[in-house]
Structure 1
């Protein structure tokens, strides 16, 4: 018998360490060559590590959430006889997870390793179940002894709420009447790891380093909603228009007069870069957490092209095949909770950007126009800015320019 020490390889991204986000094995397990053993997350991707040898697991480097240095022991495996040198294998990041293909490891990487792509987003489940669910939902279902195939879901993906409903129904309790209070549940300790940890770190850094201020303005979108409805009726085979493409066009038209909002601030260098192009970040909620896909050169696209790009990126997010290049490089971010948008919000800036625009829900209310009471569709924009770079006067004037464009939507289509 011999012991093989599998060291965490250089994943080829110039990183010094990676976080354990999932173990596929435990001490005492028998593993086969090329069997998945762990999911490791860097700042850019989650990578699934495979065992280069067959044998019995005798030691693991740590627990989920621990950071492991490159070149240090990840797994120790007891093998039959003397282990042969594992072949030099390649790494595929999650940016290529949709259609895995090999890339050449770093030239200085001499550590034998076997790795393959694993998306940071929810993936299709194994061949036995064929059920869509996030890793967290799958782990909870396993702990509860629930067969996901028996759980009814909305939209084809099982979520925590679906598990809750299943538990209530199968305990014979049915759904409680609205007048009956909820029952206490055991406390649940959840370690912050993986994507959730990255989000927490980024949000904490943003609030710690950036002096935020938020400016809120009410927009009358009655005429815009009428135009959107007419365009959708006659859209043919083009994608259905939501409010977002119109907002992006308005922002892109207003930004040239207010370049300070379309910028990135380098804290260490003390340098602000005002970008000529608008690379619009679209904050999107997923089962894995908040992600920000980017629409490149949004200023060059019309509403139909923007709608198509929003649809494409949304599909990639749902499928878990979005590329890392599509999740970086934004110069300003737009965030919306759709119908859940509330009346007002205080969005957190996507550092190192200096501005983020929060879209609140549309409500119909009576307003007074020329002495008459009329029904109007109203929507608030909640804009947070970095006060080191953007003055309140500039932020207010920028949003007022956007307001004029949205309230007179024909201007969106003028040069």
Structure 2
């Protein structure tokens, strides 16, 4: 008996090492000459390593995922030759087979001719294949990839070679046979179409603005649940009794007025930050941007001087601007100059959102949907109309404590809506 050591072959000019990606054998397995025992990968291709001798594997020098240097011991095989280490051994294993390119993949596995398998160990491809009782079918990485992409389980294919390897042509013949196990309903057929859509106009400007906001502003998001039951009752009453010239009220005019009161105590929230100059500009005027979805994309019309408007006036101006934004008649002045922004998805608002700040502002208030949920009143659970405010802040300017204080002030105003109408 003798022992033959297979070393990592030179797999390409200038390549000093390769990653082991697959073993086809394990210690104790018999191997035949020219049988593929492993596959390695370089940055250019996958290379199969065949055995130059027949025998039994006694040692594996690496695990899948390891990086192996060229000429490093890879496998030891016990052979029938006498002489052990003194026995003559080839200087290099049989030439590795390279896969990874269309031409190589197409010709994969075409080893030198050898005797065809006898009828005793040959399973005709014309018959339905059964599961091969192997732990892992023998096939090259390129064949495995082709099988996966074709939806074929290699265990369903009986090898037609004495070494048990499955070739690409075996998979192709299996597919051509139209095996019933591969029948796929039309609705599950693969869709491999792609479409390149160039961002232009409004969509491109939105992409640029969002990139600017997220790349330059470190966001902190604070979420608070608010009991909207009292405000919803008040809103319903006001809508029912409103004058003909008054618009229908949503919750946003109430939130705008609550923001006006809250920023009076925390002027850093109603501000813009010039991060190039390092200057925070506070505003006495509260210009509230209302993020609105239009056929062209997201725009932010601005309700100017919300501090000088009533609930009805806020609602009317917001409705006018929303209509102008939808039909594309909003002017540049009506779409710029906000000092703080509200983002609302209405009934689609979900439970929590993480709104992106409208650069160069430092705060944005996100409105989520209202849902009736049980709430504990101290003695029992009662149905209440609950809503989350998801608000983001520029963490360079606004600390977590300040963000929480601001939202808690808004929560009190919305949960006790009479406070919104009390001056001073």
Determine helix, strand or coil for the equivalent of 2:351.
coil
Aligned to 1:220: 227
Aligned to 1:303: 311
- Encode CA deviations 1:154-206: one digit per residue, 9 max, x unaligned: xxxxxxxxxxxxxxxxxxxxxxxxxx779847322101121111111111111
Preserved CA contact (<8 Å) 2:271 2:340 = yes
Determine helix, strand or coil for the equivalent of 1:361.
coil
Aligned to 1:289: 297
Match of 2:238 among 224, 231, 242: 231
> What CA distance in whole angstroms lies between the structure 2 residues aligned with 1:285 and 1:292?
9
TM-aligned CA deviation for residue 364 of structure 1: 0.4
Preserved CA contact (<8 Å) 2:295 2:326 = no
Aligned to 2:212: 205
- Encode CA deviations 1:64-85: one digit per residue, 9 max, x unaligned: xxxxxxxxxxxxxxxxxxxxxx
Map 1:371-410 to 2 at 5 A.
371-410=379-418
Match of 1:318 among 304, 309, 326: 326
> What CA distance in whole angstroms lies between the structure 2 residues aligned with 1:240 and 1:230?
11
Map 1:152-301 to 2 at 5 A.
184=191, 186-237=193-244, 238-301=246-309
Determine helix, strand or coil for the equivalent of 1:230.
helix
> What CA distance in whole angstroms lies between the structure 2 residues aligned with 1:190 and 1:259?
43
Determine helix, strand or coil for the equivalent of 2:284.
coil
Match of 1:362 among 367, 370, 379: 370
Aligned to 1:346: 354
Determine helix, strand or coil for the equivalent of 2:292.
strand
Preserved CA contact (<8 Å) 2:249 2:312 = yes
TM-aligned CA deviation for residue 236 of structure 1: 2.2
Q: Which has the higher contact order (CA 8 A, sep 6+)?
A: 1
Give me the CA root mean square deviation.
Answer: 1.3
> What CA distance in whole angstroms lies between the structure 2 residues aligned with 1:268 and 1:221?
40
TM-aligned CA deviation for residue 287 of structure 1: 1.4
Determine helix, strand or coil for the equivalent of 2:226.
strand
Which protein is bigger by CA-based radius of gyration? 2
> What CA distance in whole angstroms lies between the structure 1 residues aligned with 2:284 and 2:412?
22
> What CA distance in whole angstroms lies between the structure 1 residues aligned with 2:188 and 2:220?
39
- Encode CA deviations 1:373-393: one digit per residue, 9 max, x unaligned: 100000000110001111110
> What CA distance in whole angstroms lies between the structure 1 residues aligned with 2:359 and 2:389?
20
Q: Which runs of 5 or more structure 1 residues have no equivalent in the other structure?
A: 1-179
- Encode CA deviations 1:353-388: one digit per residue, 9 max, x unaligned: 000000000010011102211000000001100011
- Encode CA deviations 1:283-311: one digit per residue, 9 max, x unaligned: 01111111000000001111100110011
* Residues 401 and 192 of structure 1, relative CA distance in 2, 3 Å threshold: same
Preserved CA contact (<8 Å) 2:247 2:312 = yes
TM-aligned CA deviation for residue 267 of structure 1: 1.1
> What CA distance in whole angstroms lies between the structure 2 residues aligned with 1:262 and 1:276?
8
> What CA distance in whole angstroms lies between the structure 2 residues aligned with 1:267 and 1:402?
28
Q: Number of residue pairs matched?
A: 236
> What CA distance in whole angstroms lies between the structure 2 residues aligned with 1:182 and 1:370?
57
* Residues 181 and 297 of structure 1, relative CA distance in 2, 3 Å threshold: farther
